Structure formats: structure tokens, C-alpha cells
Amino acid sequence: MTGLKLRLHAEPLAVGMVPAHANLALTGGTTPIHGSLTTGAGRTIVFPHSLAAEAGPDVRVEGPFRALEVAGPLEFALTGILAALLVPLAEAGISVFTLSTFDTDWILVPADAAERAADVLTAAGHVVEATL
């Protein structure tokens, strides 16, 4: 599948692992996506990288990342969306953290690889536009 349209967001993001015993919410900023997913091992949070210093010593933090948003909404019956995007990125050696929302998919790439990721996806036949 080619010809997907993506938006590369400028705001830096962080991904953190909050221990199960901790009650932490890092919100604010103007990030295009933020939130949390909880498992028995703890809570994974996506939040503004500007708040990373506030996470505390118990939270493992990675980043900064930049978000690539697949233009949606996407139909639930569609298949191969992430594969079409992740395979070229993997072949280029770009690591990813993916998220899906009800309407679309998101790919977080290391901020220092964001422009290269956009170039790789463009070369694979997709359209990437930068947001302000």
C-alpha cells in the first residue's frame, strides 16, 4: 500500500514507563497526541518532552520523539497500513514507537531521525507534510 498521507508534527514527545504503584500525570503543552496505556507491569505514557524532567526517578523516560500521524479517519477494515509504513522505516534502521487511536495510526520516531524518516517514507511512495 502506497500513497498514504502523513503529517510530521514538530512538538517533541517523550515516552515513559510509570511503575504500577505510582500515580503520575504529565499533561500540558501543545502536543498532537498524549495519553497512557496500562498493563499489569505499569503504565506507558506519551507526554510533552518539555515535562520529562518532572517525571521523577521512578519513571523510565525515552525521547525526544516526533510524531508522524497518518491522515485519517481510517476504516477499521483496512489492512496493511502500519506494515506499509514500518517496513521502509525498519529497512532504513529507524526505530519506532507506534500507537493507534480510534481514527488513525501514529508513529513516533527519534527526533534526530524525523527528517530522514520523512524522506524514507516519501521514497516509499507516501506523502509527508510538516505541521507548524
pTM (predicted TM-score): 0.91
φ, ψ for residue 115, nearest 5 deg: -65, -40
Alpha-helix residue ranges (DSSP H) falling in the chain: 81-91, 114-123
State the Cα–Cα distance between residues 70 and 50, nearest whole angstrom: 24
Q: What is the pLDDT averaged over residues 36-55?
A: 87
Per-residue pLDDT tens over the stretch 10-44: 999 999 998 876 666 666 667 888 888 888 888 89
Torsion sign, CA atoms 124, 71, 74, 63? positive
Integer Rg of the chain from CA: 15
Q: What integer pLDDT is reported at residue 24 of this predicted model?
A: 65
C-alpha span between 72 and 15 (Å, rounded): 23
Contact call for residues 118 and 8 (beta carbons, < 8 A): yes
Please report the pLDDT score of residue 51 as a whole number: 87
Per residue in 76-119, pLDDT tens? 888 889 999 999 999 999 999 999 999 999 999 999 999 999 99
